Amino acid sequence: MGPGPRTVELFYDVLSPYSWLAFEVLCRYKNIWNVSLQLQPSLVGGIIRDSGNQPPALVPRKAMYVRSDTRLMSQHLQVPLHFPKDYFSVILKKGSLTAMRFLTAVKMEHPEMLEKVSRELWMRVWSRDEDITEPLSILAAAEKAGMSMGQAQELLERVSTPQVKNKLKETTDTACKYGAFGLPITVTHLDDETHMLFGSDRMELLAYLLGEKWMGPVPPAVNARL
C-alpha cells in the first residue's frame, strides 16, 4: 500500500477571479494526483488589509492587466470567466462578505456541497454578471448547485452567528500566517516544510513539489469529458 494522500489547501474568495481559475484546475487534478484537496473559504479584503497590499482595481495599470490576463487565462484553462460590466462596483462596493460567510457555513454543515456551491457563486458573478450579495441571490446559487431550499435557508440564517463569523476570520487569519497578500493561495505540507504558492499559475510548480505529473490545465481524463 502506497503513502496516503497529501493535503493541499486552497484558500479562496469568490470575489477573486484568479481563485476560480485555481479552483477548477485543482478540482480536475484532485482525483489524478495523490492529494486530499481542502477548500478554505477566506476573505480577500481582510488579507489585503492585513498585508498592506492594495486591490488590483485601485491600481490602474493592474486593473487593465487583470482584465486582459483573465480573458486569456480563462481561454487557456477552459473556464467560462467573463468580466462583469461594472467591475469596480463588484470589487470595491459590493464585496463578498455574506457569500463567504455562507460558504463557511456550508463547509461547517454540508462540506460535501462546498465545491458545487462555490462554483455556482463564481458562475453568477464572473460568468453571468449576476449578484452574489443579496440573500435571494445566494439562495438561488445554492439551489442551482443542488442544495435544498430548506438547507440553504437554514445556512443563510447562520451567516450572522458568531460561530460562522469567527470561523471565516480564523481561516482568513490562517492564510495571513502562511504569508498571503492576496488570493488564491495553495498550501501544502511536505517533509515538515510548508509551501505557500500564490496565484492560479503555480500548478506546474505544485506538481513538482508533490512529485506528481503535470499534464496541462485540462488533463486528458478530464478533457475526454468536456
pLDDT at residue 2, as a whole number: 56
Task: From the candidates 16, 42, 96, 127, give the one annotated as an active-site residue.
Answer: 16
Helix or strand holding residue 38 (H, E): strand 35-41
Query: 16 an active-site residue?
Result: yes
pLDDT in tens, 68-90: 999 999 999 999 999 999 998 99
- 1 — pLDDT class (breaks 50, 70, 90): very low
% of the chain with per-residue pLDDT over 70: 97
Residue 45 has pLDDT above 80, yes or no: yes
pLDDT in tens, 97-150: 999 999 999 999 999 999 999 999 999 999 999 999 999 999 999 999 999 999
CB atoms within 10 A of CB 131: 17
Q: All 3 cell numbers of residue 62?
A: 493592474
- 4 — pLDDT class (breaks 50, 70, 90): confident
The separation between CA 178 and the C-alpha centre of its own chain, rounded to angstroms, equals 16
Residue 173 has pLDDT above 60, yes or no: yes
- 221 — pLDDT class (breaks 50, 70, 90): confident
Can you list the domains of the chain with their CATH numbers? Answer: 6-210 (3.40.30.10)
5 vs 185, which has greater pLDDT? 185
- Cα→Cα distances 163→11, 61, 158, 170, Å: 19, 39, 8, 10
pLDDT in tens, 60-73: 999 999 999 999 99
